[in-house]
Amino acid sequence: MRAWVADAARSGAIEPVELPVPVPEADEVLVRVHVCGVCRTDLHVRDGDLPPHRERVVPGHEAVGEVVAVGARVTGPRAGTRVGIPWLRRTCGVCRYCARGQENLCPSSLYTGWDAHGGYAQYATVPATYAYELPGGYSDEELAPLLCAGIIGYRALRRADLPPGGRLGIYGFGASAHITAQLAIAEGAVVHVLTRSPAAQALALELGAASAGDADARPPEPLDAAILFAPVGDLVPVALEALDSGGTLSIAGIYLTDIPPLHYERHLFRERSVRSVTANTRQDGRDFFAAAARHRLRATVTPYDFKGADTALDDLAADRITGAAVLCMPA
């Protein structure tokens, strides 16, 4: 099969290769990949921002495709089912975090496209109990970014403790943010978007944001909650200063540049809080896809031919993509 690999010895590049079609383990399914989203985490894997977990790994953890084979112990999904392959690939199931419903913090957790080969390939495997059966009414291309951008954005939104009808600030407006904003608006929030991209500002207003301004600008009103999607530590004090008393800043990324010193009175006093987001639980994914079935979310997608995966990542790094990039696989 055709695939792309990120080589730990060649930071900043991926290369096309031919690999054997993988054989699913007893608890896995084999998926013929139709499309795969291009996530900023793939960029961090390629560029070495994340420490390599595998010397030559196939990136990609937003894969949508059809089950074509199942392992001996799999009871579902069956062959022919459309499924999604997400970031979270395995957890131990027995540690204290797994036991209390926080499997995203499992110290033995493994991740697609980092610990195991992912969706930048014609075929990929996934443990059956970690795959998602996907809602109808969406194309494969629309579903791909929901598998990470959507789920992580959902968890970040819940971690932000936004009150009903509250005022939410969103810093950065890429794949995850533009999906999360729609969900927050559908649930009754007033959303203010702060991003440096004029195209992203225009998209935010088109999707129903109350305002859209520069990333370091003040929103037009104090915020009850904020989510930082841009991996820019300099924006942490900016977002904290925009919070009203009791507000929470949720930081959605797996990677963030250094945060500058905080001033207690300006940034944290009056019970303002900062929370990080670490991966997601499977329940987050199930809850998110149930919400996506209730609220028709619009995933703004830029398709790329599979042979242009390297270009897609370069465009993402240069902020030339509005919404989400999606690789379309060869037949």
Give residue 305's pLDDT.
97
Token digits of residue 236? 């942490």
- 43-85 residue pLDDT tens: 999 999 999 999 899 999 999 999 999 999 999 999 999 999 9
In the block, residue with structure tokens 């194309």: 139
- 169-201 residue pLDDT tens: 999 999 999 999 999 999 999 999 999 999 999
What is the rounded average pLDDT of the residues 141-161?
97
Token digits of residue 1? 């099969």
In the block, residue with structure tokens 């859209």: 212
Token digits of residue 35? 């499309």
* CB-based contacts of 194, cutoff 8 Å, min separation 6: 169, 170, 171, 172, 212, 213, 214, 215, 216, 217, 219, 239
Residue 161 main-chain phi, psi, to 5 deg? 55, 45
- 236-275 residue pLDDT tens: 999 999 999 999 999 998 899 999 999 999 999 999 999 9
What number of CA atoms fall less than 13 Å from residue 243's CA on the CB side? 31
What is the rounded average pLDDT of the residues 206-227?
97
Residue 112 is given by DSSP the state: B
Give residue 323's pLDDT.
87
What is the rounded average pLDDT of the residues 207-223?
97
Share of the chain residues as helix, strand and coil, in percent rounded to the nearest 5: 30, 30, 45
Give residue 253's pLDDT.
87
In the block, residue with structure tokens 């795959």: 131
- pLDDT(331) > 80: no
What is the rounded average pLDDT of the residues 149-154?
96
Question: Nearest Cα to 42, choosing from 13, 21, 65, 10?
Answer: 13
- Residue type present at position 159: R
- Residue type present at position 53: H
Concatenated DSSP letters of 58-86: ---S-EEEEEEEE-TT--SSPTT-EEEE-
Give residue 80's pLDDT.
97
